[in-house]
Amino acid sequence: MRQYDYLIVGAGLYGAVFAHEAAVAGKTSLVIDRRDHIAGNVYTEQIQGIDVHRYGAHIFHTNNQEVWEYVNRFAVMNRYTNSPIANYKGEIYNLPFNMNTFNKMWGVITPDEAAERIAEQRRAAGITEPQNLEEQAISLVGTDIYEKLIKGYTQKQWGRPCTELPAFIIKRLPVRLTYDNNYFDALYQGIPTQGYTQLVANLLGCRADGTPAAQEDWCGRITVRLGADYLKERETLRDLAGKVVYTGPVDAYFDYRLGALEYRSVRFETQTLDTANYQGNAVVNYTDAETPYTRIIEHKHFTFGTQEKTVISREYSAEWKVGDEPYYPVNDEKNGALYAQYKALADAEQGVLFGGRLGEYRYYDMDKVIEAALAAARREL
């Protein structure tokens, strides 16, 4: 019996946006998630009155006005601006790479002096056409910054040498010749003041625990069921809806029949500390190779918290194996080629739409996920 128009697998951002758009268009959805909470990896939970990003820090930023206005319908966004600090063996540098970083590294004062330093180091390294992340990094910011702020961090994060990683990963980071510590070159930026879980709950018309919240007509068209694993209960779940929107790992959907795509996983060690302010910033990256974690997040600073205690998370990057939580797709050549084969299978799969970071095996930021979900909903509805 087809009880719903859509079965949406995954209650993260992609699934929630799609379900919302479908509901507004008069379609019914059953949204399931194998976890016991909504919001996928953007999930936040309150500890000591602080929104803790359980699956890693999420800072919303976008150049897309439509997407910005869209999230603002479901959350009050604050004016948080991401300005991470890099700690290299006790030396502190501003990120992203900007005049403050160059001044601290080389004592240079003007943009011309900084540009000349970078050009000198690029020439000395003999790089014309960067072929990998190392060459790309040196050509963007020179060898000194590469050695202290990029090499160790990147090798920890990806578990591979920078020479074996694609250049585009480092292009996520802006390099600018102004004294501007804003990490993101984006028109709009902020954190939901009530947490991402509430944002997703508002999209789904439910409470944080998935129970129905209310009121408007469209809410009644979304049913949320937690603790339901599509891949384990395919036979019973598939027939509940006309179509499936699948936001889990694309290779898992096909039982890894072509082999497993690689992901990086992250392990978080979260602690409540009896101090009001542990590190003075939301994000501190440990960019040396020896410190075992990549960064420490102090969650309260995302929302300018004034609580008496603080909660911090150390992030340890880990190799992923089947059964672990996948976080980052490893978009190198080998995985790109394997994904292309899975994509062909996905395209041929009748009545199933694949979406999101895991469903499309893409290093999507949140705004791109929303953009993609809105576009898919438009095509579909």
Catalytic residues: 172, 176, 264, 295, 315, 363, 365
Q: Which of 9, 19, 149, 191 binds ligand UDP (CB under 6 A)?
A: 149
Whether the Cβ atoms of residue 248 and residue 9 lie closer than 8 Å to each other: yes
**Interface stretch with ligand UDP, choices 67-75, 165-173, 248-256, 304-312 (CB under 6 A):** 165-173
| Residue 95 binding ligand UDP, by CB under 6 A | yes
d(CA 281, CA 288): 19
| By CB under 6 A, residue 86 contacts ligand UDP | yes
Neighbours of 338 (CB within 10 A): 17
* Least Cβ distance, residue 295 to ligand UDP (angstroms): 8
CA distance 305 to 302: 8
Is 372 a binding residue for ligand UDP by CB under 6 A? The answer is no
Binding map of ligand UDP across residues 171-200, x = CB under 6 A, - = no contact: -xx---------------------------
Return the SS3 of 50.
Answer: strand
Smaller CB separation from ligand UDP, 86 or 99: 86
Judged by CB under 6 A, which stretch of 7-15, 150-158, 215-223, 252-260 contacts ligand UDP? Answer: 150-158
> What single DSSP character describes residue 125?
H
- Under the binding rule (CB under 6 A), the answer on residue 170 touching ligand UDP is yes
Local structure of 331: helix, strand or coil: coil
Bridge partner residues of 72 (DSSP): none
167 forms part of the interface with ligand UDP (CB under 6 A): no
Per-residue mark of binding to ligand UDP, 248-287 (x: CB under 6 A): -------------------------------------x-x
For residue 96, say if its preceding peptide bond is cis, omega within 30 degrees of 0: yes
The secondary structure element, H or E, covering residue 329 is strand 328-329
CA 271 vs CA 32, 48, 83, 313, 315: distances in Å: 30, 11, 22, 6, 12
Give the binding site for ligand UDP (CB under 6 A). 86, 95, 149-150, 153-154, 157, 169-170, 172-173, 285, 287
